[in-house]
Amino acid sequence: MPSNAQARDDVLQAARQYGAALGEHIIAVFGEQIPNEKVDEAVALVTAEIFRRIEEMSSQNVAAVIVLDWGHECVNALQDRILEHTGYLLMAAALVGFDPWPAVLRSSRRTRETSPRAD
């Protein structure tokens, strides 16, 4: 059975892989150099996808601290990948303030709203 530290490392490695894959997808969709007018669209696309995964993990009762770490690690890997292309500097800068916490909160609220209550 893996230790808690090993399990956390595995989760973070998966986040890095997912973030790098998102970066690959963005580069495939928008090309080697993203036009400035497409940056907001690209940022919205990746943040929606990351939030979707965060909400999914939260709804599966993954500890919030792990989900938050996953979100940050995913964005770090995404930024690393897109920064390999200088045409993505503006997008990488737009992701600097990324905060996964709103997705955790949304998922937590949904779980409470759909859980049967003992009255």
At 115, is the pLDDT very low, low, confident or very high (cuts 50, 70, 90)? low
Residue 106 clears pLDDT 80, i.e. is over it: no
More confident residue, 116 or 108: 108
Chain segment 67-80, per-residue pLDDT in tens: 999 999 999 999 99
CA atoms within 13 A on the CB side of 114: 7
Residue the block writes with tokens 């909160």: 105
pLDDT at residue 112 in the model? 63
At 111, is the pLDDT very low, low, confident or very high (cuts 50, 70, 90)? low
- DSSP labels, 17-44: HHHHHHHHHHHHHH-SS--GGGHHHHHH
Q: 83, exposed or middle or buried, with CB in 10 Å at 0-12, 13-18, 19+?
A: middle
Chain segment 1-55, per-residue pLDDT in tens: 567 788 888 989 999 999 999 999 999 999 888 888 999 999 999 999 999 999 9
Residue 119 clears pLDDT 60, i.e. is over it: no
Percent of the chain whose predicted confidence (pLDDT) is above 70: 88
Q: Tell me the domain boundaries of the chain.
A: 4-108
CA atoms within 13 A on the CB side of 85: 20
Residue 8 — left, alpha, or beta (φ > 0 → left; ψ -120 to 50 → alpha)?
Answer: alpha
